[in-house]
C-alpha cells in the first residue's frame, strides 16, 4: 500500500501541556505504522496556558511540522492580568457570583467578539498558506481538531476551495460544552455559534467525536458520517512503583469550580470523625490547576491539613503520581451538558492499577467505560452514602495492603489500537 499524506491542523502541540495536546501527538506517533504520512500544521507563536517542555521528545521524527504565526488576543489581555487571562484561556472560569469586573469583561469579550474563539484571527492567513501547500504537495485529505473550533473554520474554507476530503475531529463538543453558558453570550452571538457549528457539521465529509453522547447530539444536526474514536492510553516506560505510604486520594488535571464535589468533602469529614486512625493516613493530592473555590471549600470542611496541592507537573510526573497514589479521583461537572465528556486522563488512570473513584452526572459516558473495564466505581452527586462506604472499603483494603484495581479489556483503548481505527477511516475515504 502506498503511503498516504494527510494534513492535520491542530492548535495544541508540544510544548503545550495538558490534555488537549495528547490526542494528536499520539495519533501522529502511530500513523506512519499504518502507511500514513502525518503533516502537522500548528501556530508558530501560540499562547499556551500550560507548558510541558518534556513532551517535545515525544514528537514523531516521521512527522512533518509546519508553522505559521498567529495573532493571539490573550497576549494583549495578559497586559491587564496575566493570571486571570491564563486561567480563562485554560478553561478555569471563576464562580459567577465571585467574578470581578475584569473577569466578567474578559468573558463577555471572549464569548461575543471572538467567535467561535480567540484563535479566529488565524483562519484567513492559514487558509492562504495551506491552500498553496496542499496543491503543491498533492494532499487530498485534511483533519481539523478542536477546540479551539476556529480550526474547523480553516477546514471549512479549504473544503470549499479545494477537492479535499475533510475530517472534523471534536475532542469536546461546541455549543453544548459546559463552559459555553458562562461566556455571557448575546442572542446574536449564540446564534452565530450555532450557525457555524451547523455549517461545519454539514460540510465536513466525516465527523470524529470522542463519546457516544456527542455523536447523538451531532446526529440531530447532521446526516454526515460520525465516528466515535475515544482518547486512550499510551505505553509508558515501566518503572518500579512505590505506593504512597498515606491513604492518598489523587486528582490529576484541572479542578474547576463547577467540579467541586461536596459529597466527597462531606464523606471524608464524616470518616475522620468515625474512624480514629483515618486522620493519620489521609492525604488529598491535587495535581494541576485548582480553582480557588475548590480550595476554599476544602478549608471550609477543615480538610486543608490533609491537602497536598502540587500544582502543575510534567506529563511524566503526572503518570508517576497516577501509579503511586492509593486512589484516583475523577470528577466531572454535575450537568446534562457534561454527560458526553470523557476526560482524557481516565484512560491513563485505567492502566495505573489504582482504583478510580469517579463522580459525575447520571448517564455519563465515562461511567460505562469504568464499569465495563472494572477499574473503579462511579457515583452520581446524590450518592453520598454509597461513596462514603466505598472510601471506607478502599481504606480497609489499604490497611491490609490489598488495595488494587483489576482492569479487564483495556487494550482496545491503547493509542496504537485507536490509531489503527483512525487509519481505517482515512484509508476508506480514498
Q: What is the DSSP string of 385-405?
A: HHHHHHHHHHHHHHHTT----
Rounded to 5 degrees, φ, ψ at 328 are -110, 135
Query: Cell numbers 500513523 correspond to what residue?
Result: 31
Burial of 329 (0-12, 13-18, 19+ CB in 10 A): buried
Domain locations in the chain?
4-232+415-428, 247-399
Check residue 102 and give its pLDDT. 64
Task: Determine the pLDDT at residue 74.
Answer: 57
* CA distance linking residue 237 with residue 330, whole number of Å: 24
Which region holds residue 374: left if phi is over 0, alpha if psi is between -120 and 50, else beta? left
The cell for 379 is: 457515583
| pLDDT tens over the chain, length 430 residues | 678 999 999 999 999 988 889 999 999 999 999 999 999 999 999 988 888 888 999 999 999 999 999 988 755 544 344 454 444 444 445 445 556 656 666 666 666 678 899 899 999 999 999 999 999 999 999 999 999 999 999 999 999 999 899 999 999 999 886 655 666 678 888 899 999 999 999 999 999 999 999 999 999 999 999 999 999 998 766 667 899 999 999 999 888 888 899 999 999 999 999 999 999 999 999 999 899 999 999 999 999 999 999 998 888 899 899 999 999 999 998 988 888 889 889 999 999 999 999 999 999 999 999 999 999 999 999 999 999 999 999 999 999 999 999 999 999 999 999 999 999 999 997 6
- Residue 6, classed as helix, strand or coil, is strand
The Cα angle at residue 425 between residues 423 and 427, in degrees rounded to 5: 65
Q: Are 166 and 159 in contact (CB under 8 A)?
A: yes
Please state which CATH number belongs to domain 247-399: 3.40.50.2000
Q: Check residue 430 and give its pLDDT.
A: 62
What are the backbone dihedrals phi and psi of residue 422, each rounded to the nearest 5 degrees, phi first?
-60, -45
C-alpha radius of gyration, the chain, whole number: 22
Whether residue 164 contacts residue 158, with contact meaning beta carbons closer than 8 Å, is answered with yes
CATH classification of 4-232+415-428, choosing from 3.50.50.60, 3.40.50.2000, 3.90.1580.10, 3.40.50.1100?
A: 3.40.50.2000
- Whole-angstrom Cα distance, residue 172 to residue 164? 24
Backbone dihedral angles phi then psi of residue 367, each to the nearest 5 degrees: -65, -40
Beta bridge partners of 282: 247
Determine the length of the chain: 430
Q: How many CB atoms lie within 10 A of CB 133?
A: 15
Q: What is the dihedral of CA 305, 94, 99, 11, to 10 degrees?
A: 140
Give the model's pLDDT for residue 238.
Answer: 61
Question: Which H or E run contains 304?
Answer: none
Q: Where is 419: in which H helix or E strand?
A: helix 415-428
- The answer to whether the beta carbons of residues 391 and 265 sit under 8 Å apart is no
Put the strands of the sheet holding 206-209 in their side by side order: 64-68, 36-43, 4-9, 141-146, 165-170, 206-209, 226-228
Quick one: which of 114, 199, 192, 116 has its CA closest to 150?
A: 116
Which 8-state DSSP code applies to residue 117? -
Query: Of 180, 170, 120, nearest to 147 (Cα)?
Result: 170
| Cα first-last separation, the chain | 12
**pLDDT value for 87:** 45
Could you give the CA distance from residue 33 to residue 55 in angstroms, rounded to a whole number? Answer: 20
Question: Which of 350, 153, 354, 163 is CA-nearest to residue 244?
Answer: 354
d(CA 21, CA 340): 19
CB burial string 400-419: b at 16+ within 10 A, e below = eeebebebeeeeebbbbebb
Q: In b/e form, how buried is each residue of 171-190, taking b as 16+ CB within 10 angstroms?
A: bbbbbbbbbeebbbbeeebb
Q: Which residues contact 317 (CB under 8 A, 6 or more apart)?
A: none
| Amino acid 86: pLDDT | 45
d(CA 60, CA 38): 9
Whole-model pTM: value is 0.86
The cell for 219 is 446526529
**What local confidence, expressed as pLDDT, does residue 89 receive?**
45
pLDDT of residue 50: 86
Amino acid at each position: 500500500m502506498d503511503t498516504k499524506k494527510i494534513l492535520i491542523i491542530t492548535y495544541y502541540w508540544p510544548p503545550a501541556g495538558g490534555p488537549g495536546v495528547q490526542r494528536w501527538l499520539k495519533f501522529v506517533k502511530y500513523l506512519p505504522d499504518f502507511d500514513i504520512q502525518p503533516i502537522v500544521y500548528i501556530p508558530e507563536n501560540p499562547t499556551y496556558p500550560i507548558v510541558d517542555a518534556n513532551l517535545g521528545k515525544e514528537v514523531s521524527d516521521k512527522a512533518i511540522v509546519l508553522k505559521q504565526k498567529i495573532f493571539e488576543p490573550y497576549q494583549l489581555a495578559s497586559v491587564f492580568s496575566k493570571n486571570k487571562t491564563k486561567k480563562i484561556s485554560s478553561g478555569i472560569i471563576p464562580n459567577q457570583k465571585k467574578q470581578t469586573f475584569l473577569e466578567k469583561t474578559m468573558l463577555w469579550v471572549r464569548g461575543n467578539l471572538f467567535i467561535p474563539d480567540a484563535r479566529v484571527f488565524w483562519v484567513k492567513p492559514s487558509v492562504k498558506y495551506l491552500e498553496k501547500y496542499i496543491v503543491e504537495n498533492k494532499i487530498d485529505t485534511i483533519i481539523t481538531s478542536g477546540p479551539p473550533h476556529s480550526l474547523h473554520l480553516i477546514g471549512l474554507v479549504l473544503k470549499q476551495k479545494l477537492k479535499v476530503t475533510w475530517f472534523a475531529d471534536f475532542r469536546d463538543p461546541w455549543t453544548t460544552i459546559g463552559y459555553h453558558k458562562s461566556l455571557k453570550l448575546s442572542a446574536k452571538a449564540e446564534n452565530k455559534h450555532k450557525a457555524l457549528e451547523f455549517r461545519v457539521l454539514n460540510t465536513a465529509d466525516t465527523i470524529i467525536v470522542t463519546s457516544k453522547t456527542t455523536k447523538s447530539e451531532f446526529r440531530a444536526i447532521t446526516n454526515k458520517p460520525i465516528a466515535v474514536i475515544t482518547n486512550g492510553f499510551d505505553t509508558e516506560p515501566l518503572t518500579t512503583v512505590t505506593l504512597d505510604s498515606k491513604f492518598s486520594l489523587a486528582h490529576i488535571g484541572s479542578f474547576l469550580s463547577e467540579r467541586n464535589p461536596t459529597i466527597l468533602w462531606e464523606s471524608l469529614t464524616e470518616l475522620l470523625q468515625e474512624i480514629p486512625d483515618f486522620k493519620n493516613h489521609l492525604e488529598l493530592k491535587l495535581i494541576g490547576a485548582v480553582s480557588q473555590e475548590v480550595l476554599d471549600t476544602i478549608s471550609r470542611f477543615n480538610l486543608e491539613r490533609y491537602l497536598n496541592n502540587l500544582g502543575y507537573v510534567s506529563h511524566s510526573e503526572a503518570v508517576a503520581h497516577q501509579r503511586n497514589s492509593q486512589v484516583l479521583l475523577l470528577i466531572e461537572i454535575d450537568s446534562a451538558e457534561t454527560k458526553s465528556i470523557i476526560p482524557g486522563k481516565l484512560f491513563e488512570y485505567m492502566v495505573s492499577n489504582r482504583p478510580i473513584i469517579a463522580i459525575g452526572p447520571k448517564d455519563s459516558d465515562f461511567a460505562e467505560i469504568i464499569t465495563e473495564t472494572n477499574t473503579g466505581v462511579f457515583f452520581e452527586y446524590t450518592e453520598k452514602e454509597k461513596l462514603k462506604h466505598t472510601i471506607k472499603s478502599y481504606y480497609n483494603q489499604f490497611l491490609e495492603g490489598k488495595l488494587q484495581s483489576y482492569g479487564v479489556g483495556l487494550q482496545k483503548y491503547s493509542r496504537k489500537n485507536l490509531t489503527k481505527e483512525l487509519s481505517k477511516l482515512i484509508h476508506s475515504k480514498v
